[in-house]
Structure 1
């Protein structure tokens, strides 16, 4: 009888330990998620669809100020224009144009406000592109 009791006690201890480790992992995951949400980033970012011909990708605008913002782009943006996946900066000029640059500050493309919603590129001239808010 004592052997059975000791076996049940050992099984209960192992189960409690495993559940405890699992809870510790969940708490760590929750703590990391809270840290990500509370790191000063705005809760919502602006998303734009960058298109040229039948190719398109999403560009996400963060850290929005009056004239400058940080950008990230999908890898598919290289299909729209070579090197466009390296875009990291959105700079608005006083005349309303938008300049997209990489992390070194090299200008990748420049856009003017379009007749409709969004922007149309004027540089580079050989690769006309549009930049339209994608929503959600």
Structure 2
């Protein structure tokens, strides 16, 4: 502790809790005991950075990619379900409009038949009156 050098390393780590994955930030802090190892340590970190080290091992990257794909599929499924719901609503509205149109036609036909029946009844009554 008398060296006066304090090292802090922060990294994002993919964690799994049950079926849920998330990226958490972890921090490691320490005071090196031997100064001569410090140069080796910083050289090691520089090499890792040069080689594109991002803090994840292959398994974590694979899990992260699967999680990302799963999340995208869930979003696509949600969008598809929404589109399907909109299509069903549209279909029900079209069915309702068609049913209302058919009802109007039936009502007009019924009204026309009633008018024809009344007219026929009036003519029958007139014919009976003429005979008298």
Shared topology, TM-score over 0.5? no
Bigger fraction of residues in strand: 1
Question: What TM-score do you get using the length of structure 1 for normalisation?
Answer: 0.32
Bigger fraction of residues in helix: 2
Q: Which of the pair has more CA radius of gyration?
A: 2
